[in-house]
Amino acid sequence: MRIPENEVTDERVYLQRRRLIAGLSALPALGLSGCAEADPPAPPGPVISAAEAASGFKTDEPLTRYEDVTGYNNFYEFGTGKGDPSKAARTLRTSPWTVAVGGECARPGKLSLDDLLKGLTPEERIYRLRCVEGWSMVIPWLGVPLADVLKRFEPNSDAKYVAFTTLADREQMPGIRYRSIDWPYREGLRIDEAMHPLTLLATGLYGKALPQQNGAPLRLVVPWKYGFKSIKSIVAITFVKHRPHCSWNDLQPSEYGFFSNVNPDVDHPRWSQKTERRIAGSGSQLFAERIPTRLFNGYAEQVGDMYAGMNLRRWF
Ligand SMILES: Nc1nc2c(c(=O)[nH]1)N[C@H]1C(S)=C(S)[C@@H](COP(=O)(O)O)O[C@H]1N2
Ligand SMILES: [Mo]
Alpha-carbon distance of 121 to 136, in angstroms, equals 27
User: Is the same domain home to 25 and 153?
Assistant: no
Query: What is the predicted pLDDT for the residue at 12?
Result: 76
pLDDT at 20: 78
**Are residues 172 and 239 in contact, defined by beta-carbon separation less than 8 angstroms?**
no
Are 222 and 145 members of one domain?
yes
- Residue 121 and residue 240 in one domain: yes
In this structure, are 89 and 193 located in the same domain? yes
**313 within domain boundaries:** no
Q: What is the pLDDT of residues 182-224, one digit of tens each?
A: 999 999 999 999 999 999 999 999 999 999 999 999 999 999 9
Q: 98 C-alpha to center of ligand 2: Å?
A: 26
Asked whether residue 122 is domain-assigned, the answer is yes
Task: Decide: 293 and 276 in contact? Cβ < 8 Å.
Answer: yes
Q: How remote is the CA of residue 131 from the centroid of ligand 1, in Å?
A: 9
Statement to judge: residues 164 and 26 lie in one domain: no
Of the given ranges (42-51, 114-123, 242-251, 276-285), which has the lowest mean pLDDT? 276-285
Determine whether 33 is exposed, middle or buried from the number of CB atoms within 10 Å of its CB (0-12, 13-18, 19+).
exposed
Model confidence at 37, pLDDT cuts 50, 70, 90, reads: low
| Ligand 1 neighbourhood includes 75 CB (under 6 angstroms) | yes
Phi/psi at 152 (5° precision): -60, -25
Q: For residue 248, give the ligand nearest its CA.
A: 1
127 lines ligand 1 (CB under 6 A): no
Report yes or no on 65 lying in a domain.
yes
Both 53 and 37 in a single domain? no
Closest C-alpha to 157, from 233, 84, 106, 226? 106
166 lies in the same domain as 251: yes
Q: Which of 35-44, 48-57, 63-72 has the lowest mean pLDDT?
A: 35-44
For residue 27, the model assigns a pLDDT of 44
Count of domains in the chain? 2
pLDDT at position 19: 81
Ligand 1, atom 16, lies closest to the CA of: 74
Residues 36, 52 within the same domain: no
**155 upstream amide cis, omega within 30 of 0:** no
Confidence band (pLDDT; 50, 70, 90) for 166?
Answer: very high
For residue 2, tell me if it sits in a domain.
Answer: no
Residue 316 placed within a domain: no
CATH of the domain at 162: 3.90.420.10
Please indicate, yes or no, if residue 314 is contained in any of the structural domains: no
Binding-site residues for Mo-molybdopterin sit at 73, 76-77, 131, 166, 214, 219, 230-232
Whole-number pLDDT of residue 13 = 82
Its domain, for residue 296, covers 45-307
Residue 274 sits in the same domain as residue 242: yes
Residues 264 and 237 occupy one common structural domain: yes
Residues 37 and 72 in one domain: no
Whether residues 27 and 126 share a domain: the answer is no
Residue nearest atom 8 in ligand 1 by C-alpha distance: 75
For residue 113, the CA-to-ligand 1 centroid distance in Å is 20
Q: How far is the centre of ligand 2, averaged over its atoms, from the C-alpha of 131 (Å)? A: 4
Q: Sort strands 200-205 and 219-221 into parallel, antiparallel or unpaired.
A: antiparallel
Domain membership of residue 254 (yes or no) is yes
pLDDT band at 284 (very low <50, low <70, confident <90, very high): low
Residue 192 included in any domain: yes
Instruction: Write the pLDDT tens digit of every residue in 103-162.
Output: 999 999 999 999 999 999 999 999 999 999 999 999 999 999 999 999 999 999 999 999
